[in-house]
Structure 1
Amino acid sequence: MTQSDPTDNPPSGIGGKRKLALLVAFLASLWLPWILSLGGCFLSLWIVIPAPTLFLLPLGVGAPEVSPWLIGVNAIALVWVAMRLPSGWIYSIALGCSVLGLLLSLLPLIQIPAANARMAADMAAEFGQAVLTTEPPLPQPLRPQPFVWLDAFRGIQVPEVRIERGIRFATVDRVDLTLNLYRPLESGRHPTIAMIYGGAWQNGTPANDETFSRYMAAQGYTVVTLDYRHAPQFRYPAQVEDIQTALSFIQTQAEALEVDIQRVALMGRSAGAHLASLVGYGQSPFPIRAVVNYYGPTNLTEGYNDPPVPDPINTRAILEAFLGGNPDQLPQLYRDASPIHQIRPNLPPSLLVYPRRDHLVRAKFGQQLYEKLQGAGNQAVLLDIPWAEHVFDAVFSGVSNQLALYYTERFLAWALRELP
């Protein structure tokens, strides 16, 4: 009589665990496709649905930018549903959600060719063909294409640069105002981008959008990101005065900061673009070579009277906090604070970047500024991104920012080139 191997009859506890694991795996094979299908469809819906509240705004901003990822999620869900779920109402709903999600997630990508062709033609027509071929100050290659699939998944690579943060340029009303400095590894004076952050004039720091600052510094620019006092404690024109003070500091410290004061562009996003436009088109301590405006307010009176729908940040409350009242109470102040009313001939070349689905600063205000600049004989191009929402470039490797970055870096290389 032979003795049995104990491994032939595992204890009931082990067998129970195996059965439980098999049951969990079986249920997962049924429910995971369903969950993945619903989740992918839900996220993809925000490509076309505007966010009604500030809480939901990240979904409206991010969904178009991560659409390559959503394409993958929806495609996997579609295949999984077709292979794993039995026929029935659950199968039909899951299949429908996956198909809808896949179609929605394709929308930004199928619009890229037409948008890119229009942008390239407008840039060349306004600034000359050289704007598309001018090299940056250092031999850091420009982006080879307006959209690179690999970058959408791995991120845009940013080389090492020198960074100094928290350099105080003024103290006003007991508020220390600072700047951050991003420079290429090579020392010397470089063409310069003075950056102004957004945040509804109420929040933000010079560290905002640091990936962009590092990216441009690696191309051979000195990037100086500027601070300013915030509303509602400090109201307009305090913010403009602070930017002018920062530029005066840059002028006096140009050698130490490695700034070529003859080649400076002003750039801003949202509220920062508003300030960049006011200073670039108005009073600056030294001549500005170019202005780059990412979705900045341009006509504050009309912005108050015709806010976006939905209005997730309460535009009227933001403007009242910034200016101290409404347009009926302060008509001249609203006019003075509107870049569209500062337009005159012989202004620096302007690049305007506006997402068409913007529900914080309506795209029509970018169009109005562009037409006013052109009407006064100035050089300006409006890059209109059909599928994008406000602050789209917060997703640095996103679909919209890849396209905007492609033309922004070329515009800056052209505008800040050495003149003969």
Structure 2
Amino acid sequence: MPLLSTVLAAALAATPACVEPPPDPSNTFDAARTYEKLVRDYPDIRIAADPLPAGVRKIGDQVYAQYGARCLKLDAYLPAGERLPVVVLVHGGGWKSGYRSEFVPMALRLARHGYAAVTVSYRLSGEARYPAAVQDVQAAVRWVRAHADELHIDPQRVALAGGSAGGQIASLAGVTAEAGEVKAIINIDGLSDFTSELALKHEDDPKKNPSSAGAWFGGRYAEQGALWQAASPIRYVRAGMPPILFIGSGQPRFSAGREEMMARMAQAGVASEKLILPETPHAFWLFDPWLQPTVDASLAFLYRYLR
């Protein structure tokens, strides 16, 4: 036993301390800046914000993965109870920007209804290209399941959810996870097929040098076609995969491939559901009055497939 303690102490001493990366001035995707862009066309919107509900505790800045001195962190919002179902939330930002704080309002509203909710950071495309972000989210799921006792959650009832790029990442991480790790997926305005005509029209536009997807993959479709295909959740439809709720804006380009993926899921005998919020902008989940119907649909779906 003393030898084990000595080895463990040496290993811990050899682990580099976490170093926060410096603020990135190009990372401009957040609720406040998005509000400034949208309020002229949608004057009734409000940035969604919620206080920490009574009985819900926050466990913040938990390191779930470390690469040298680079640490990836998550925040957990935990209502009272034991063996709670948990939703891991993945932020958007075109794979190149965004913050986990984007999903705090949704996390708190889920927690108010008895769900543990976890918001995660992951490596953006400027730091590490595909598939790093997907691997990070899967690592976060494994961390949450491994710490089920401390978090008072049920490791057999884990859902993944995300918006925009986070919706695509959540879908891909969920459908390619080890069997049983993820039981349900919520894709909010995220791509299902990078290779669809609609997605290529925008994400492989030669006028964008590079596009957000092109930067993530390290090249255009003609150059990195195998990666564009591999990152498309539609490629992994199969019997036994998790059911998916698709929540879409009034901007079809951001959920390209959704209808075909739902059709393939039906053929495979896998449940899928869809809610479209018409006349809404992309990133609608950052704002009221649109966050609440997003949460309501998510709660109904999670009750069916996670409870």
Structure 1 and Structure 2 fold alike (TM over 0.5): yes
Question: 3-state SS of the aligned residue for 1:406?
Answer: helix
CA RMSD of aligned residues (A): 2.9
Summarize the alignment of residues 150-169 of structure 1 with structure 2, pairs less than 5 Å apart: 159-160=53-54, 161-169=56-64
State the partner residue of 1:346.
240
- How far 1:61 sits from its partner (Å)? 4.2
- How far 1:301 sits from its partner (Å)? 2.6
State the partner residue of 1:391.
283
CA contact 2:157–2:306 (8 Å) conserved in 1: yes
Gaps of 5+ in 2: 1-31
* AA at the equivalent of 1:256: E
Summarize the alignment of residues 52-71 of structure 1 with structure 2, pairs less than 5 Å apart: 58=35, 61-62=38-39, 66-67=43-44
CA contact 1:351–1:380 (8 Å) conserved in 2: yes
- CA distance in 1 between counterparts of 2:47 and 2:234 reads 39
- CA distance in 2 between counterparts of 1:231 and 1:268 reads 17
**Using a 3 Å threshold, how does the CA distance of structure 1 residues 189 and 159 change in structure 2: closer, same or farther?**
same
- CA distance in 2 between counterparts of 1:154 and 1:287 reads 30
CA contact 1:244–1:285 (8 Å) conserved in 2: no
Question: 3-state SS of the aligned residue for 1:362?
Answer: helix
State the partner residue of 1:245.
139
- How far 1:163 sits from its partner (Å)? 0.8
**Using a 3 Å threshold, how does the CA distance of structure 1 residues 194 and 362 change in structure 2: closer, same or farther?**
closer
* AA at the equivalent of 2:131: P
- CA distance in 1 between counterparts of 2:150 and 2:303 reads 23
State the partner residue of 1:402.
292
- CA distance in 2 between counterparts of 1:293 and 1:211 reads 17
- CA distance in 1 between counterparts of 2:292 and 2:146 reads 35
Higher strand share: 2
Identical columns (%) = 27
Summarize the alignment of residues 291-370 of structure 1 with structure 2, pairs less than 5 Å apart: 291-302=185-196, 305-307=200-202, 314=208, 317-357=211-251, 361-370=253-262
Aligned length: 272
Higher helix share: 1
- CA distance in 2 between counterparts of 1:339 and 1:306 reads 18
State the partner residue of 1:283.
177
- How far 1:376 sits from its partner (Å)? 2.4
- CA distance in 1 between counterparts of 2:228 and 2:245 reads 24
**Structure 1 outlier segments of 4+, above 6 Å:** 152-158
Residues 237-259 of structure 1, C-alpha deviations (whole Å, 9 max, x = no match): 11111112112212221111222
CA contact 1:64–1:388 (8 Å) conserved in 2: no
CA contact 1:167–1:180 (8 Å) conserved in 2: yes
Residues 231-278 of structure 1, C-alpha deviations (whole Å, 9 max, x = no match): 122001111111121122122211112221111111111111111111
CA contact 2:138–2:173 (8 Å) conserved in 1: yes
State the partner residue of 1:268.
162
* AA at the equivalent of 2:228: Y
- How far 1:365 sits from its partner (Å)? 3.0
CA contact 2:174–2:182 (8 Å) conserved in 1: yes
Residues 1-45 of structure 1, C-alpha deviations (whole Å, 9 max, x = no match): xxxxxxxxxxxxxxxxxxxxxxxxxxxxxxxxxxxxxxxxxxxxx
CA contact 2:175–2:237 (8 Å) conserved in 1: yes
For normalisation by structure 2, the TM-score amounts to: 0.79
**Using a 3 Å threshold, how does the CA distance of structure 1 residues 253 and 405 change in structure 2: closer, same or farther?**
closer
State the partner residue of 2:86.
192
Question: 3-state SS of the aligned residue for 1:208?
Answer: helix
- How far 1:343 sits from its partner (Å)? 1.1
Q: 2:114 aligns with which of 220, 234, 237?
A: 220
Residues 119-146 of structure 1, C-alpha deviations (whole Å, 9 max, x = no match): xxxxxxxxxxxxxxxxxxxxxxxxxxxx
Say yes or no: does 1:177 pair with 2:72: yes
Summarize the alignment of residues 12-91 of structure 1 with structure 2, pairs less than 5 Å apart: 58=35, 61-62=38-39, 66-67=43-44
State the partner residue of 2:21.
none
Q: Which moved more, 1:400-409 or 1:223-232?
A: 400-409
**Using a 3 Å threshold, how does the CA distance of structure 1 residues 166 and 307 change in structure 2: closer, same or farther?**
same
Summarize the alignment of residues 126-145 of structure 1 with structure 2, pairs less than 5 Å apart: none
